[in-house]
Amino acid sequence: MTPTPPPSKSFPGVTQNVQVRFDQHRALDAIERRLATDPLRTGGIVEVSEVVRFADLDSGKEASLLRLGLLVDGLARLLGDGGVALYPVAERGLLSDTELTSNERMVLRRWSDDGLLEILPPGAPALARAGEVSALTGQPVLTRAQIRGYALRPTPGGGGSVQLVPVGPGPSPVPDQALRALTRMWRCPVPDCPSYGRPGVGQPPPQLAQGVPMCPRHGERLSDAGARPSVVALVVRIGGLVRQRFAVAAGTPVVVGRAPDQHGSVALGPLLDEEARTWVSRKHVALELRPDGVYATDMSTNGTVVVGPDGRGRLPGGQARRLGERDILELTDGVEVARAGTAAGSSDATAPGSVMADAPTIAIRMPRDNR
Ligand SMILES: [Zn+2]
């Protein structure tokens, strides 16, 4: 739903400022939903202070946090995945960069506290850390800098968009020692560390200093908190497009619904249209990873349909059923849950939506032919 913009005719200058702040707020919220430091959700890594200064991408002002949104959109278009997130890395100085507005700096601090942005200690080489995450995850760095390894170079595309051009050799094999670090859960000694202090299976790859896993935020040695549970990556597709990715780990069921309202659940409400909202239950279906596969339990009022290679059938209510690798759950017409990497059941896919829809045109000046 689109909130009504604040109306006023008597003070046009004031109205415009209010409107710009309002639009900027909404655009940053949309970008926030597409940031993560969990490689299960991301498809690329960015060094934030470089991105905010990509002025020629939009011919706008010197520094703007909204440029992150141009890269989110570029990556979504490249991968055909409207749910893919960016892994942002920045050195601590960015939080006090006076070329950004005080609101932008406040937003960055919140993202860091929420673990959506990896903030490195003062003076730490952020681009090198981005390269390390790239090497450990096989995901490209979105950068114009010369880096060793796997990169996508952002260049201005048509209509105010960004094109990403692959450069570098592509993902290289991960050394055994590093691979071992990725199969463990890690804990940081700093209380409430946003990267390695919270429950859940999503965790950034540790920084490896001569093979020793360290917290990239705090520079502290991490302690081994046991084997990382096995995880299956799932996606929610709406109208044939991936709108959200999530992971299900052994021993931690995940509830998907309109508003499941519990830790670790997947809330679809904001992504659904009016009609779908009336069909999808608050808690619609629970997913669980067991040793022999993913199990689904219907919790809904209107039911869940399983579409598989052998046809379609209703998921029995209140009873867990094992899903085949290619099975798709239909919560209602056009709203599907499936394993990441499977083809959409509905074929009416359009281009991924833009997180920049609400971006104020003063900060991001679009070329005229786009209007
Ligand atoms: Zn830490």
Question: Which residue in 326, 359, 367, 361 sits closest to 343, CA to CA?
Answer: 326
User: Residue 210: what pLDDT?
Assistant: 86
Spans in the chain with pLDDT lower than 70: 1-16, 200-201, 341-351, 360-371
What's the CA-to-centroid distance between 105 and ligand 1, angstroms? 21
Q: CB of 225 within 8 A of CB of 256? A: no
What's the CA-to-centroid distance between 187 and ligand 1, angstroms? 8
What's the CA-to-centroid distance between 90 and ligand 1, angstroms? 15
3-state helix, strand, coil in the chain (%, to 5): 25, 30, 45
User: Residue 361: what pLDDT?
Assistant: 58
User: Residue 2: what pLDDT?
Assistant: 47
What's the CA-to-centroid distance between 331 and ligand 1, angstroms? 39
What's the CA-to-centroid distance between 38 and ligand 1, angstroms? 15
Q: What is the pLDDT of residues 32-51, one digit of tens each?
A: 999 999 988 899 999 999 99
What's the CA-to-centroid distance between 110 and ligand 1, angstroms? 16
Other CB atoms within a 10 A radius of the CB of residue 69 amount to 25
What's the CA-to-centroid distance between 109 and ligand 1, angstroms? 15
Q: Supply the mean pLDDT for the chain.
A: 86
What's the CA-to-centroid distance between 89 and ligand 1, angstroms? 14
User: Residue 346: what pLDDT?
Assistant: 53
pTM of the model: 0.77
